[in-house]
């Protein structure tokens, strides 16, 4: 397998707050949802390091939000991640300014910054993959995050005032003030940290008491939308809901703070795959859960389900799509259902769609979301295109993961109040325009 390209194309969906009317009542402003527009950007590989509990693939559509943090406020850009809990900001050593290309938060410049002591309940959280620990010398609570490339980030657990959008009251929330800096490209959109949005006690969702949020990731620039807070969605968004899944007893390999749903089946070109229900459900250890994750690019299936999908997809595309036939090639070490397409051409339009069936809802992957052109890879006059479903056993991970690439042009709502995830296929540019007129 050839080494990965130096610059992997990623997309950052920048959130630009739509201001409310200046004369809106304070009570209305406090409860009205926040609407954001999204814009695509490029970031280099390694600019957004992933925790070890996340997949190590750097191709990444990430929702990023610009926040005001501290007093006086410092503007920072943070990646919005539904698969992570602890929010963190890069804090330079000594609390001064960060170096070139390393945006950061300056805790010593804020009057409202406070370290979390070892005696705090927040320092005893067990939701994180690596629980916080007490530094005996400073009596401060320390946190460590491990990354897929073998590096790690270490810092102190702290609290600070966060402000999101106009009219919203400031929120004091716990976060990691991390001392480790990461290389970024001067041409990239730099980020200062990550905003954890899963269901853990230390996530931004939990600390802000946000009970509902939703988004639509577009395949076009400036056409996506993020909605934070409760809102009765209009009739043009007929959501189908699937309940969040939670086993009755704690299981060692089940992530209880992830957005987990029940995967019941898979269809290829309308044909159901012969996958036993037991293969799609978590086992007695909790391994095999299905997670909806905005921080992972593609979708990953455990080995037995992936092999069934691969066999049927190759069978249905055999008459019109040449197979790569290279047993030594697997894009990003997990995507080995690959094809040859003449350079300068797109794959055939009649590709069979893949539908994921959930309890009460479904998600259909079709068109240009099915195959991905591998950068820099070619065979003679042909480019290499791979199916955007990966084999989780090759990574390896022990879960099904529904990535953001397959959430494009789908309205996705996280309803924590009723314990469910809503899905509705829609063009995101249409949803963004119509919601902007309504709110």
Residue numbers annotated as active site: 81, 293
- What residues does 402 pair with on adjacent strands? 292
User: CB burial class (10 A; 0-12, 13-18, 19+) of residue 302?
Assistant: buried
Cα three-residue angle 191-17-91, rounded to 5 degrees: 25
Cα distances from 69 to residues 18, 92, 159, 189, 236, in angstroms, run 19, 15, 10, 19, 36
Please give the full DSSP string across 4-35, using - where no structure is assigned: PPSS---EEEEEEE-PPPTT--HHHHHHSPEE
Cβ burial, residue 294 (10 Å; 0-12/13-18/19+): buried
Q: Are 29 and 163 in contact (CB under 8 A)?
A: no
- Which residue, among 335, 338, 340, 320, has the nearest Cα to 380 in the 3D structure? 340
How many residues are listed for the chain in this entry?
Answer: 439
Query: Is residue 132 helix, strand or coil?
Result: coil
Q: Would you report the helix, strand and coil content of the chain in percent, each value rounded to 5?
A: 15, 35, 50
Classify residue 134 by burial, with Cβ atoms within 10 Å: 0-12, 13-18, 19+: middle
What single string gives the DSSP state of each residue in 38-107?
A: E------TTSS--BTTS------EEEEEEEEETTTTEEEEEEEETT----EEE--GGG----TT-----G
Neighbours of 65 (CB within 10 A): 24
Contact (Cβ atoms closer than 8 angstroms) between residue 91 and residue 102:
no
Q: Report the C-alpha gap between 12 and 96 in whole angstroms.
A: 27
Nearest to 413 by CA among 221, 196, 255, 261: 261
Angstrom distance (rounded) from CA 170 to CA 165: 10
Q: Please name which of 62, 173, 68, 59 lies closest in space to residue 122, comparing C-alpha atoms.
A: 173
Dihedral sign, Cα of residue 29, residue 31, residue 33, residue 34? positive
Nearest to 60 by CA among 400, 221, 296: 296
């Amino acid at each position: 397998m050839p080494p990965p390209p130096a610059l992997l194309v990623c997309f950052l969906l920048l959130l630009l707050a739509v201001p409310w009317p200046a004369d809106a009542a304070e009570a209305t402003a406090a409860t009205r949802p926040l609407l954001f527009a999204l814009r695509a950007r490029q970031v280099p590989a390694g600019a957004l390091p992933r925790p070890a509990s996340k997949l190590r693939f750097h191709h990444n559509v990430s929702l990023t939000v610009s926040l005001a943090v501290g007093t006086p406020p410092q503007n920072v850009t943070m990646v919005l991640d539904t698969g992570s809990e602890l929010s963190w900001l890069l804090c330079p050593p000594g609390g001064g300014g960060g170096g070139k290309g390393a945006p950061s938060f300056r805790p010593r410049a804020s009057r409202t910054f406070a370290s979390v002591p070892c005696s705090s309940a927040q320092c005893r959280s067990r939701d994180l993959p690596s629980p916080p620990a007490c530094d005996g010398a400073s009596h401060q609570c320390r946190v460590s995050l491990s990354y897929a490339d073998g590096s790690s980030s270490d810092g102190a657990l702290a609290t600070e005032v966060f402000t999101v959008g106009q009219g919203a009251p400031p929120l004091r929330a716990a976060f990691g003030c991390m001392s480790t800096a990461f290389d970024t490209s001067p041409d990239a959109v730099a980020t200062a940290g990550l905003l954890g949005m899963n269901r853990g006690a230390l996530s931004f969702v939990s600390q802000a008491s946000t009970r509902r949020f939703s988004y639509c990731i577009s395949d076009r620039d400036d056409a996506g939308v993020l909605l934070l807070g409760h809102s009765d969605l209009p009739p043009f968004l007929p959501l189908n809901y699937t309940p969040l899944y939670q086993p009755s007893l704690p299981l060692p390999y089940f992530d209880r703070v992830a957005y987990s749903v029940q995967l019941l089946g898979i269809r290829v070109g309308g044909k159901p795959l012969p996958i036993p229900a037991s293969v799609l459900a978590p086992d007695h250890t909790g391994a095999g859960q299905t997670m909806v994750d905005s921080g992972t690019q593609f979708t990953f299936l455990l080995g037995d389900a992936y092999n069934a999908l691969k066999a049927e997809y190759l069978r249905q595309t055999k008459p019109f799509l040449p197979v790569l036939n290279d047993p030594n090639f697997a894009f990003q070490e997990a995507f080995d259902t690959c094809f040859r397409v003449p350079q300068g051409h797109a794959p055939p339009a009649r590709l069979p769609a893949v539908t994921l069936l959930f309890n009460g809802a479904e998600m259909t992957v079709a068109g240009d979301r099915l195959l991905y052109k591998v950068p820099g890879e070619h065979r003679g006059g042909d480019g290499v295109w791979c199916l955007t479903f990966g084999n989780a056993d090759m990574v390896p991970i022990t879960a099904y993961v529904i990535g953001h690439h397959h959430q494009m042009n789908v309205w996705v709502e996280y309803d924590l109040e009723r314990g469910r995830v809503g899905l509705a296929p829609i063009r995101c540019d249409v949803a963004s325009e119509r919601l902007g007129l309504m709110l």
